[in-house]
Amino acid sequence: MQVEVFGREREIDESRIDADPATIREQVREYEAGERGTFDLEIEFPDGFTGSVMRAMMAIPAGETRTYGEIASDLESAPIAVGQACGRNPIPVIVPCHRIVGVDSLVGYGGGLALKRELLEHEGAALPGEP
């Protein structure tokens, strides 16, 4: 299904969320309006490494970021593997892959770096490479 956030459409796999599309869209709208910091949705994570990375993403509080290297270290993997798993995230925004950044830059986001920046600024996160 498509959801709109900050004027951009994002495809999410609603089959991995135990909620009806109206509830999912409403929670995304509340997030965008600043009325919701976390999503109250039951998620079915994929098996394997992608699911592990998605769980790590979910553990990052709104307003904070982690680097690909930090997540890789926690999962005993490589930063590039974490980046690839982020790219396979079937539930962007709700599972916050935008909170994973490079050491000194935003780098990589399926919705585009402008949306990644906007999501992080919306959450009040410090952006890498900026004071």
pLDDT tens profile 33-62: 999 989 999 999 999 999 999 999 999 999
Q: What is the pLDDT of residue 129?
A: 76
Provide the number of structural domains found in the chain: 1
Active site residue 97: yes
Strand-pair partners of 2: 11
Q: What is the pLDDT of residue 49?
A: 98
Domain span at residue 35?
A: 2-123
Categorize the per-residue pLDDT at 131 as very low, low, confident or very high, splitting at 50, 70 and 90: low
With respect to residue 22, please indicate whether it lies within any of the assigned structural domains.
yes
Q: What is the pLDDT of residue 111?
A: 87
The helix (H) or strand (E) run that includes residue 2 is: strand 2-5
With respect to residue 119, please indicate whether it lies within any of the assigned structural domains.
yes
Which of 82, 86, 97, 120 is catalytic? The answer is: 97
| pTM summary value | 0.93
With respect to residue 103, please indicate whether it lies within any of the assigned structural domains.
yes
List CB contacts of 85: < 8 A, sequence separation 6 or more. Answer: 49, 50, 52, 53, 54
CA nearest to 115, candidates 99, 95, 103: 99
CATH of the domain at 93: 1.10.10.10
With respect to residue 129, please indicate whether it lies within any of the assigned structural domains.
no
